[in-house]
C-alpha cells in the first residue's frame, strides 16, 4: 500500500464505528477491524480511479468526491469490487448492499449531473474542523465552477444535521432493511452560462 492509501485508511476507519450503513454492509463481530480497513481501502481506490481523493494541507482530513459522469474501465472497477465482496462483505451482504445502492442511485439519477460527496472526515483527535472546512470549501468551489449540485447520503441523524448546517437540504430518503438513509443536496451558488 502507498502512503496515501495508509493515510486514507487511518482517517476513515475510526469514523466507521457506530455508522449503521457501515455495519449493514460489513457487519460486526469477529474480523470487523479487518473488514473496515478493507472498506476504507475500497472507498479510496474507487475514488482514486475517478480522480476524487483529496487531503487537507495538514493531512488531518480527507474527502472523497467525484463527478457523476466520470467513467472508468469496467475491469478496473471489477477487481476492486470483487476484493471488497470477498474480503469484507460476503455474498449475502453484497446483494443487500447492492439492492440498497440501486434505490439510492434511482434518486441520484433523477437529479442529473452532480458531484457525489461520498466521504468527508477528519482525524479523530479533535476532528480538525478547519481541515475538514478546507476540503468542504474546495468541494463547494468545484460545484459552483461547474454549476452542478453536490449530493451526499447519511444514515446518521447527527451527520444529517451537520450537512444541513453546511447548506445541504434533504431531497429524498430511502428506507431499506429497517435503515433510513437521508439523501442530501447542496445546489451551486452560480449557474453556468
pLDDT along the chain (193 residues), means of 10: 84 85 89 93 94 90 91 90 93 92 93 93 69 89 95 92 91 93 93 53
pLDDT the model gives residue 48:
93
In a domain, 191, yes or no: no
In a domain, 193, yes or no: no
> What pTM was computed for the model?
0.90
Which residue, 24, 4, 18, 12, is CA-closest to 97? 24
What is the domain-level CATH number for residue 57? 3.40.630.30
pLDDT the model gives residue 45:
94
Which residue, 135, 136, 153, 149, is CA-closest to 191? 149
In a domain, 69, yes or no: yes
In a domain, 192, yes or no: no
> Which residue range forms the structural domain that includes residue 12?
3-186
**Residue 149 contacts residue 111 (beta carbons within 8 Å):** yes
Amino acid at each position: 500500500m502507498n502512503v496515501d492509501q495508509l493515510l486514507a485508511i487511518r482517517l476513515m476507519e475510526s469514523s466507521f464505528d457506530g455508522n449503521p450503513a457501515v455495519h449493514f454492509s460489513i457487519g460486526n463481530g469477529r474480523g470487523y477491524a479487518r473488514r473496515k480497513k478493507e472498506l476504507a481501502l475500497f472507498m479510496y481506490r474507487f475514488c482514486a480511479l475517478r480522480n476524487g481523493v483529496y487531503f487537507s494541507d495538514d493531512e488531518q482530513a480527507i474527502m472523497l468526491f467525484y463527478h457523476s459522469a466520470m467513467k472508468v474501465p469496467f475491469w478496473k472497477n471489477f477487481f476492486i469490487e470483487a476484493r471488497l465482496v470477498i474480503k469484507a462483505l460476503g455474498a449475502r451482504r453484497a446483494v443487500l448492499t447492492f439492492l440498497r445502492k440501486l434505490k439510492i442511485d434511482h434518486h441520484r439519477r433523477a437529479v442529473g449531473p452532480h458531484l457525489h460527496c461520498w466521504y468527508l472526515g477528519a482525524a479523530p483527535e479533535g476532528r480538525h474542523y478547519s481541515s475538514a472546512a478546507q476540503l468542504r470549501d474546495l468541494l463547494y468551489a468545484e460545484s459552483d465552477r461547474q454549476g452542478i449540485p453536490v449530493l451526499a447520503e447519511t444514515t446518521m441523524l447527527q451527520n444529517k444535521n451537520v450537512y444541513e448546517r453546511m447548506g445541504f437540504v434533504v431531497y429524498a430518503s430511502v428506507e431499506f432493511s429497517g435503515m433510513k438513509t437521508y439523501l442530501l443536496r447542496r445546489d451551486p451558488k452560480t449557474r453556468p452560462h
